[in-house]
Each structure stands twice: as C-alpha cells, then as structure tokens.
Amino acid sequence: MTDIVLDVRNLRVEFPTRKGVLTAVDDISLQIRRGEILGMVGESGAGKSMTGMAILGLLEPPGRIASGSIHLSGDRIDGLNDREMQQVRGRRIGAIFQDPLTSLNPLFRVGDQLVETIRLHTALDKTQARARAIELMREVGIPAVEERIDNYPHQFSGGMRQRIVIALALCAEPELIVADEPTTALDVSIQAQITALLKRLCRERGTAVMLVTHDMGVIAETADRVAVMYAGRLAEVGPVEDVVRRPRHPYTDGLMGSIPSLRSEVEELRMIPGAMPRLDAIPPGCAFNPRCAHAGPRCRREVPRLAGTGATGAACWLATEGAVA
C-alpha cells in the first residue's frame, strides 16, 4: 500500500449543459506507484486530459467530479477547497502542460520565477533558493546556467522552455507529476530529449508520473504502464509491452494497426471505420461497439468494465469472457 502514490477510484467527471449532463470521464479507476510512469493515451475528446485536470483540481466549471475518489499517498484530495488544493498543487503534485509559454510568466526572469516557487513551497531563504534554482536548472539539462538564469522566457527555445517548466514542477519535490502532452509542441529530436529527461528524473527521485498524450510512440518509449481511454472510459490497462505488442481490446488493436510502421511496408493501413462518438451520443453498451468488427448483442446491451482496481486487462466482453452473445 505504501508505495501507491496516486489512487483514483471510480472517478466520474460531468459537465451539466442545457441539453443534459455530459459524462466526460466515466467510472475510471487507476493507480500509480512510486517511480512509475503511467501513460494515458487516447484520441482527442477521449477524456485523458480531463482525468489529469480532475486530479490537479483544475476542472473548468461547470465541470465537476460527480463521484469517485482521488487519494494522494493515502490523503483524499478530491473534496478539498481551492485554498487547500493550491497547497497540494505545486507542493505535492507538479504539472507540466503542452505549451511551455503559457506556464511561464513572460515578464519575469526564469530564475526569479523558480526562486518564487521554491520559496513558496519550502523554508529556504533567498540565497538558498537561488542556489537550489541553479541546481534544478542544471539537473534538467540547461547549459551555462549561471549566464542564463537571469534571462526571460522568450530568450529560450521551445525545448529549453519545457525544461524550465519541468524544473518549476520539480521545485517542491512533488510526489506526483501530471504531464499533459509535454512533448507535443516539440520536434522529434527535442521530444526525445524531454522524454529521456522525464524518465531519468522519475527513476532518480521516485516521482510518480502521469503522462497524458495522444502519441502512442511517446508512450511506448516512456511509460511503464499504459491506460487507453475511449469515449471517457478506460478501454485497456496494462504494461506497455503487452498493450503495444498484444493489445486485447479491439480498439487498442485498431489503434496500433492504424499507425504506419517504421519497419515494414503495407499497401493499406488498417482503419477503424467511423469516428469516436461525441459525449452526447455515446451508444448503449460498449462505447466502441458501432465501430467494432467483433461486436455482438451483449456489447450493445451491457457496458464492459475492467475487473477490480489497478488491474491489468481490457474492458471488452470478448477479451474477458470470450463471448459477446
């Protein structure tokens, strides 16, 4: 129990609208251990970012956590008010977003932003905080730190800015980092540098990382375990090797088949027909059934669920019970 950092149980996020209540995240349970990277993957609108935002307590109203619980190292954090949540965010959970420019204040030197964050979350004085900032910048791989610490964000390249954002997220030595598409805005060679950095930090510090991305390649490269989301629900959870090589859910299988290979040539890519349903038009039963080649009557009737919490497996009648009648 002790090494489970994040424990999400039966989380449901809802958006009340004039047309009715939309369920953006539907009954999700997952756990992340110390030093583990969990990849959350899915197409746009699948609910992967929404799950991250719910954990960070940053859901945009009218979005709300309708049911379920979120525990951080044993402490429940979903019912906290804004002030209490602010204490948790930054100190115990670090956040890294897609666009490093929106996470940095353009009017302040990066060093001052780091010092401010460090002093907010620790008892260090100004000089100590600056020394710590230099140490952190060096750790995330910024060259010539002493010269660059007093530069403004615009004086750094995209990759360097993302490194600074990672340094900011690390200021208070958080137990958990939620990284939402941290490499999407970056070129492949820079992307590789950033994922290698995340992996190293996670390994060295034992930080738990939730890596949200649409890029299966980044997940395969970085994550220990993967959670595949579809239409707000978990389709499949498992070790990265298993999910990538032996997907059990037909959606994961279709997703893997639709990615062009670097090794082999095919005349035609496998396609999943149709598109993911909108939140107001999720079909009864398994959300994937209209696009699934194996769907049977049961799939159109009953929602398949992953067995137990933190389990490995697929939410699919065919995979779990071998029959769809």
Measure CA of the first residue to CA of the last residue in the chain; give whole Å.
39
User: Would you give the DSSP letter of residue 224?
Assistant: S
Decide if residue 155 touches other proteins (CB under 8 A): no
Decide if residue 44 touches other proteins (CB under 8 A): yes
Count of residues that interact with other proteins, criterion CB under 8 A = 47
Where does this chain touch other proteins (CB under 8 A) — which range of 1-9, 260-268, 296-304, 312-320?
A: 260-268
Strand, coil or helix: 233: strand
Decide if residue 236 touches other proteins (CB under 8 A): no
What's phi and psi for 279, nearest 5 deg?
-60, -25
Q: Which residues pair with 14 in a beta bridge?
A: 23, 64
Decide if residue 109 touches other proteins (CB under 8 A): no
* Closest CA relative to residue 8, chosen from 181, 213, 238, 227: 227
Decide if residue 258 touches other proteins (CB under 8 A): yes
The residue from 224, 233, 236, 306 that contacts other proteins (CB under 8 A) is 224
Distance CA 118, CA 105 (A): 16
Q: Which is nearer to other proteins, 120 or 271 (CB)?
A: 271
Q: Output the smallest distance, CB 192 to other proteins, in A.
A: 4
Residues 174-193 that bind other proteins (CB under 8 A): 187-193
Tell me if 252 sits within 8 A of 41, measured CB to CB.
no
Decide if residue 3 touches other proteins (CB under 8 A): no
Where does this chain touch other proteins (CB under 8 A) — which range of 23-31, 131-139, 262-270, 297-305?
A: 262-270
Q: Which residues pair with 238 in a beta bridge?
A: 226
Q: Which is nearer to other proteins, 270 or 305 (CB)?
A: 270
Unique residue bearing structure tokens 């993911």: 276
Q: Which is nearer to other proteins, 144 or 188 (CB)?
A: 188
Strand blocks (E) in 100-232: 176-180, 208-213, 225-230
Tell me if 40 sits within 8 A of 52, measured CB to CB.
yes
Q: Are strands 225-230 and 37-41 parallel, antiparallel or unpaired?
A: parallel
Decide if residue 263 touches other proteins (CB under 8 A): yes
What's phi and psi for 269, nearest 5 deg?
-75, 145
Q: Output the smallest distance, CB 191 to other proteins, in A.
A: 8
The residue from 55, 208, 216, 228 that contacts other proteins (CB under 8 A) is 216
Residues 265-304 that bind other proteins (CB under 8 A): 265-272, 275
- Binding residues for other proteins, rule: CB under 8 A, are 43-44, 157, 159-160, 187-193, 195-196, 199, 214-218, 220-221, 223-224, 240-241, 244-245, 254-263, 265-272, 275
